[in-house]
Structure 1
Amino acid sequence: MPSTTRFDANERTAWAGRADAYAATFGRLCAHTVPELLDAAGVFGAGTRLLDVGTGPGTVAAAAHARGAEVTAVDAEPSMVQLARRAVPSARIELAALPELPFPDAEFDAVVANFVLNHVGRPLLALAELRRVLRPGGRLAVTIWSGTPGPGQTLIPQALQAAGAVRPPHLGPLDPADDFPRTPDGLAALLTAAGLQDAACRTLSWDHRTTAEDWWAGPASGVATIGLTLLAQTPETRNEARRHYDRLATTFRTPNGTLALPHTALLATATR
């Protein structure tokens, strides 16, 4: 069985050159989980050898560095690596993609992956690779989006659906043989299947606060699957999607005019 799939190839194409657009939009959303992710991985003081996989703009790496960790980070997208190197110049940041990392066995005390398993074609192989580079007794912490999304997560998809937008075939989901239930039990079971010990998972919920313009800017810039789906539509459908978005967004508007968008994610931990 090959270690990568068409899903992985599509991910590489989808994220090419989109680091700045991601950092200014959805990257701010994904930053919410960083403190709890690092706590779950046991990154509390100086000297922890940490690997941050899928570092994106370096948000997790920067927070870990501030805690005194010895940070190594990787990302599969060159523009993300460049952005992360500027954010954390003292960290070792390299270009690499799961499920093959350029590190020896048992190299790190802790390994984290913030919303990364959503973007790999073979999640079980990816977790086995994260286990490989983790020392015996070391801690792994990962986040993914919950299969039961918060209402704020469905705002843009609902707008596209109301406009009649159709997801391009090449942006299809994982092969069912590689997928897993996006539930606390499902994610914990996947970690166990990868050979990790004491797997546990809990739900994180928060309101992401942003403006209507900033939140729309992510998909309008082609960020993530939802963005590529929007850009694949005709101009008429895109305009209709924006009209529905403006209508649906009123549900989340706060007294000061910003949006409070409820989101739900899963945080799983385990040890080697």
Structure 2
Amino acid sequence: MTVIEEPQDASHILSGEANGRIWGGRAADWADIQEPQCAAAYHAVFDKVPVGSATRLLDAGCGAGMALRLAADLGAEIAGIDASEGLLDVARSRLPGTRLEQGDLEILPFEDDGFDVVTGFNSFQYAADRVAALREARRVVKPGGKVFIMTWGEPGSMQATALVAALKPLLPPPPPGAGGPFGLSEPGKLEELATAAGLAPREVFDVDSPWTYPDLETAQRGLGSSGVAFKAAETSGQAALDVAHEAALAPFVQPDGSYRIGATFRILMAEKTG
């Protein structure tokens, strides 16, 4: 086991604790309703490698463990880390006996060169120091191994942008210089981030992953389960969050009362060279 020195500046640890709290606030709704909306992206990544019985995979920011469950079903040896104990409780129930750690992406408690694949499904953008987090991902993946970074697709090309934008008036003002939810979605940004961390960008691809809900109540619970939505409810109240989501959802209601919203995820496959 590699011994990793504690950083002098613990600010990112505190941000990890804060992220863990808000993302674990509605862990059951996230696991049951919202996490499955990302399944198409998980499958696309596992097909790209491909993931199988010879694969050792770490999911950095594993949430409630759905991606890890899919990788395990393909035969992979799996491990995960997340900031949220609430989400990890769900993951442990899904994946008994799996090594699932609570902690920060900037300080991974795993050995050097230990994994064939590291995935970060909508996780690295929440690290206080994204480059440090990706350097850790590079450290723990084997030479020639792959690191996948997933973020939102380009905002102008997907319907889900309206749902993300609906939260902005309900949140505290962002810190100066913050890139916003689509900061890594611009062309070249993922490659730039990976290169800064010492990874070699290999391919960027977009995956359509539409969100579907049977009714308004389910849609509000699913959308309200993200950490950002939880923070919006704390700041402005649950009623305001529900009103904002209902208004943003209105254009996407189907004749039977269900909802379908187009969403896209942008994914970078990078490689550890040398």
Alignment TM-score > 0.5, same fold:
yes
Bigger CA drift: 149-158 or 182-191?
A: 149-158
Partners of 1:154 and 1:198 in 2: CA distance: 26
Partners of 2:90 and 2:132 in 1: CA distance: 27
The CA deviation string for residues 90-139 of structure 1, in whole angstroms up to 9 with x for no partner, is: 42222232110111110111111111113211111111110000011111
Name structure 1 gaps, 5 residues minimum.
Answer: none
Q: What is the TM-score of this pair, normalised by structure 2?
A: 0.83
- Conserved 8 A contact 2:16-2:104: no
The CA deviation string for residues 28-80 of structure 1, in whole angstroms up to 9 with x for no partner, is: 2223311012223431x213111111111111111110111111111121122
Partners of 1:29 and 1:185 in 2: CA distance: 25
Partners of 1:174 and 1:30 in 2: CA distance: 28
Please report how far the alpha carbon of residue 218 of structure 1 lies from its aligned counterpart in structure 2 after TM superposition: 3.5
Partners of 2:245 and 2:24 in 1: CA distance: 26
Partners of 1:152 and 1:180 in 2: CA distance: 17
Partners of 1:174 and 1:80 in 2: CA distance: 29
Q: What is aligned with 2:37?
A: 29
Name structure 2 gaps, 5 residues minimum.
Answer: 1-7
Of residues 74, 81, 85, the one that matches 2:88 is 81
- Residues 217 and 122 of structure 1, relative CA distance in 2, 3 Å threshold: same
Q: What is aligned with 2:79?
A: 72
Q: What is aligned with 1:265?
A: 265
> What's the RMSD between the two structures over aligned residues?
2.7
Q: What is aligned with 2:102?
A: 95
Identity of aligned residues (%): 26
Partners of 1:173 and 1:202 in 2: CA distance: 30
Bigger CA drift: 203-212 or 244-253?
A: 244-253
Please report how far the alpha carbon of residue 244 of structure 1 lies from its aligned counterpart in structure 2 after TM superposition: 5.6
- Conserved 8 A contact 1:141-1:269: yes
1:210 aligns with 2:207: no
Bigger CA drift: 202-211 or 99-108?
A: 202-211
- Conserved 8 A contact 2:16-2:103: no
- Residues 36 and 29 of structure 1, relative CA distance in 2, 3 Å threshold: same
SS at match of 1:152: coil
Partners of 2:91 and 2:242 in 1: CA distance: 32
Q: What is aligned with 2:28?
A: 20
Aligned residues: 261
